[in-house]
Structure 1
Amino acid sequence: MRTHLDRAITRLQSRLTDALDDERGDVPGWVLITLMTAGLVVVIWALAGPALADLFQQAISRVSGL
């Protein structure tokens, strides 16, 4: 009985150690999410940038009276 329990504990420890040592994660997924987010920021900035710059210039001219 004791050796059976020892083997079971050893197998459990081995599986836990393997699970804890696996730090790869889902790297391709995170890279894809990061690249898509960066792409969205670039597209939104390209579309809204001129309008935001114009809005800023109008606000500054109203405040400063230029």
Structure 2
Amino acid sequence: MPTLTGVLAALAALAERLRGEDPERGDVPGWVMITVMTAALVLAILIPFREAIVAAVTNALSSVTSGG
């Protein structure tokens, strides 16, 4: 699983490439910032609660497949 630092670095490199040579273009586009914030939020939730999430999904799937 990629680390948060790696994801942020990749997205920053993508934003820099999209920005191009035009100094008038401005800051990071909004969609890039939303993507970075979403990735950070998902990792912030997933890392500490991974075992609980896996247990909940496993429990839900086993209750559906066993018929009840």
TM-score (normalised: structure 1): 0.41
Q: Which has the larger radius of gyration?
A: 1
TM-score (normalised: structure 2): 0.40
